[in-house]
Amino acid sequence: MKIFEQLGRVALGTRVRFFGERFADDATKIYGLYDIDMNPKWFPVFYVLSQDEERTITSIAEEIGHSHASVSKIVKEMINARLILEKTSSADKRRTLVSLSKSGKDMARKIEAQYLDVKAAVEELSAQSKNDLWKALEEWEYLFAQKSLFARVAEQKKKRESAHVEIVPYSRKYRSAFLELNEEWIRTYFKIEQADRDALGDPEGYILKRGGHIFVALLNNKPVGVCALIKRDDPTYPYELAKMAVAPEARGKNIGWLLGNAIVDKAKELKAKKLFLESNTILKPAISLYEKLGFKKVVGPPTPYERCNIQMELKLK
């Protein structure tokens, strides 16, 4: 098909679906060839039950990798087709057991000849191919189990979009952005506290003149993210990652990750042994980001923030 020649691997999902539909069409015809009244989607459930006398829907779902709801629907269809019987377990009245009916068992015996011929046909097809589709499917299924295609595409999207992000040192022209970006997220979840007013109202005096640093994320030259490295009067934790904020419209573009790494690199440059931060577990994306950066939960010094319910540290090499 020309669409696959033009799009290439971008059309992987469409091509696999078309390929699967072709197999499903042939499967329906093959069942007819052997005079077996079987809907192709029933087959995994039918096969599992042909190997065991009785099974629960949950155990069938686990074995074939379908959802409980999907298997329940198939079982109902097969009951209506008089291929399956159901009953309540004598050992546990809450459990429903299903098994093949007499018609289902007759079909299981009848289908054996079909198995032999289909196996021979597939082996013949494999012998004519340079690539082993079965092994390739096993490999791709394993890789998808590790990370879905959706997750992989989302990662690529972040990489592409973050390529347009520039991390720059703070200058006075970003003062309002530093204030507004932080106030936006704080007011969304909490309230502005005195420690916030001190840092946000005078970042030059409170952070920079005390030996700290601030980084700004620019997207198309617009400030969309900020983060500070604050110098603390604490020998255990002399530096703190703080005041990280990303504009709502710029989230999902890897900006927090880029800012976090800029802070970590600066702390290393300053020969810091540890990096400290305070946060709140309600901020799940932020906590996930900190963990990705390598931070671990600790019990640290007294906090000036009412909203703080978690403290974390990163040991720097």
- DSSP string for 21-57: HHHHHHHHHHHHHTT----GGGHHHHHHHHHSS-EEH
**Strand-by-strand arrangement of the 274-279 sheet:** 165-169, 213-219, 222-231, 239-246, 274-279, 310-315, 296-298
- How far from chain centre, in Å, is Cα 274? 30
Quick one: which of 220, 249, 239, 248 has its CA closest to 278? 239
CA atoms of 101 and 90, how far apart (whole Å): 19
* Cα 64 from Cα 47, distance rounded (Å): 10
pLDDT tens track, the chain, 317 positions: 677 677 678 888 888 888 889 988 999 999 999 999 999 999 999 999 999 889 999 999 999 999 999 999 999 999 999 999 998 876 666 788 999 999 999 999 999 999 999 999 999 999 999 998 889 999 998 999 999 989 998 888 888 887 889 999 999 999 999 999 999 999 999 999 999 999 999 999 999 999 999 999 999 899 999 999 999 999 999 999 999 999 999 998 899 999 999 999 999 999 999 999 999 999 999 999 999 999 999 999 999 999 999 999 999 97
pTM over 0.75: no
SS3 149: helix
pLDDT at 1: 62
Instruction: Say if residue 247 is exposed, middle or buried (CB neighbours under 10 Å; 0-12, 13-18, 19+).
Output: buried
Question: What is the C-alpha to C-alpha distance for residues 225 and 228, in angstroms, rounded to an integer?
Answer: 11
The span from the CA of 200 to the CA of 206, in Å, is 8
Q: Tell me the chain's radius of gyration from C-alpha atoms.
A: 30
In the block, residue with structure tokens 């950066």: 293
How do 165-169 and 84-88 pair as beta strands?
A: unpaired
The domains located in the chain, with CATH, are 2-153 (1.10.10.10), 162-315 (3.40.630.30)
N- to C-terminal Cα distance for the chain? 54
Residue 266: partners with Cβ closer than 8 Å, 6 or more residues away: 213, 215, 229
For 162-183, give the DSSP string.
Answer: HTTEEEEE--GGGHHHHHHHHH
